[in-house]
Amino acid sequence: MELEKDVMLTQMQATAAATKYGYDLIVIGGGSGGLACAKEAVVHGAKVACLDFVKPTPHGSKWGLGGTCVNVGCVPKKLMHQASLLGEALYDAQAYGWEIPNAENIKPDWGKLVQSVQNHIKSVNWVTRVDLRDKKIEYLNGLGSFSDPHTILVKMKNSAERTVTARNVVIAVGGRPRYPDIPGAEFGITSDDLFSLEKPPGRTLIVDIGLECAGFLRGLGYDATVMVRSIILRGFDQQMANMVADSMAEHGVKFIHKTIPKSVEKTLHNTYLVKYTNVETAEEGCDEYDTVMWAIGRKGLLEDLNLTSIGMELKNDKIPVNDAEQTNVSNVYAIGDITYGRPELTPVAIHAGRLLARRLFGNSTQLMDYCNVATTVFSPLEYACVGMSEEDAAQEHGEDNIEVFHGFYKPTEFFIPQKSVRYCYVKAVAERNGDQRVLGLHYLGPVAGEVIQGFAAAVKCGLTMKILMNTVGIHPTTAEEFTRLNITKRSGADPTPASCCS
């Protein structure tokens, strides 16, 4: 009876809201998080509108519905990473007995690769539009700005204007790449342009944090250099981050450390002269590249929302929210990359969006748990992790109160082609006492994301080293290396295995 009363109350509230406002919910942003929130809200009976509009990049790149992940992020990046791995596999195949005539002359067709990637993206754009229509979510291809907390002025793609109202509004606009404030910055592209680039990138400079792009570009046969201002993979375990960089260098990616660009000039032969300075020694240098790509961070898309009109608090181009994703304006919420201090990961935005919709329209009280979120860096030799870095664990628990188990390993599939196993490595950071609860797991090796996903669930469930060591591994796999961990850093013993089968 109580449940029935709650459901009736929710329906009455929704009806009342629909009478006063045009919608129960307006979602501003058609990326993964916003779409997930909109779809879940409809499941619970809400009337929903979703706004989405993409401003072209300075180089004219634009895309359809689906947000960063689908169009210029996770999806095209993983596809190009896969293309790179397939090229490497051609050479491995010969060692396994495959006869590949003129293998040394096989090269990728950049134009064909880009077209294939874009065809897939456009198919996802279309399916997404159809899905919104089928779920009766009104899609508004326009730019939204607040007139008041419940009213949004929409500047449509066709230049018409429309005013819409809702009881609740969710901001899920995400972010876009930053450009440096230096002369000639306009000559550089970003990840928003790379995956639709018409001409092969050639000799490419990636400035700061674009390791994944540098990795697949090198794997596709292009000269790739990464210019790093400070540290590699800020926020990640630094031992693992440095091993990722060293592994990439082994694959042929070049690094210029402790350096920042000062200017970019276009030359007479259509290359770009980049002048740069070492931040420690002040030594200056320059070099020419066919493509310069900025990967210096992202900024939240706040400028068009007119948030000052509703008194919204902002912090570093992002929106602070409480545990329920609520802003300081009570009926306005934010999810995904636009929120301050949250992991900028697609699955995080999706899950947060769904849970928010359930709380708003489905009588749920479940909050998003942002702890122990797994992630992967799709470098040539992939890195995945879940939980705390060794540095963070030591800072929070004290070095004397943690134990770090580690080991190198040899993937079976690397043996015959004699691929380097120098950086194949796993690490578990755990409490030192009791059953040794696992605080973090780190893996560097093939198919890292596939390996760490299952362990992420185990860590969420309170995995301990006692349980891990008593788990029988699947042999021969790389994932089993976590179950074989028994050497600690504290012991000083050699973590290099003598055999793969004992």
Residues with catalytic function: 475
Burial class (CB in 10 A: 0-12, 13-18, 19+), 63: buried
- Is 410 known as a binding-site position? no
Of 290, 42, 72, 344, whose CA–CA distance to 194 is shortest?
A: 72
Contact criterion met (CB below 8 Å) for 453 and 441? no
Contact criterion met (CB below 8 Å) for 423 and 442? no
Q: What is the 3-class SS of 50-113, one letter each residue?
A: EECCCCCCCCCCCCCCCHHHHHHCHHHHHHHHHHHHHHHHHHHHHHCCCCCCCHHHCCCCHHHH
Q: At what angle do helices 74-95 and 211-219 cross, to 10 degrees?
A: 40
Kindly write down the DSSP assignment for every residue of 389-436, as one continuous string.
-HHHHHHHH-GGGEEEEEEE---HHHHTTT---TT-EEEEEEESSTT-
Strand 175-177 versus strand 204-208 pairing type = unpaired
Contact criterion met (CB below 8 Å) for 95 and 414? no
Residue showing tokens 């749920």 = 364
Q: At what angle do helices 110-134 and 74-95 cross, to 10 degrees?
A: 140
Alpha-carbon distance 127 to 41, whole Å?
19
The number of angstroms, rounded, from the C-alpha of 279 to the middle of its chain's C-alpha atoms is 28
- Is 144 known as a binding-site position? yes
Residue showing tokens 């995904």 = 336
Asked whether the bond before 495 is cis by omega within 30 degrees of 0, the reply is no
Alpha-carbon distance 133 to 127, whole Å?
10
Alpha-carbon distance 239 to 218, whole Å?
23
- Is 29 known as a binding-site position? no
- Is 297 known as a binding-site position? yes
Strand 161-171 versus strand 332-334 pairing type = parallel
Torsion, CA 196, CA 236, CA 259, CA 265, rounded to 10? 10
Annotated binding-site residues read 78, 144, 297, 337
Annotated binding-site residues for FAD read 78, 144, 337
Annotated binding-site residues for NAD(+) read 297
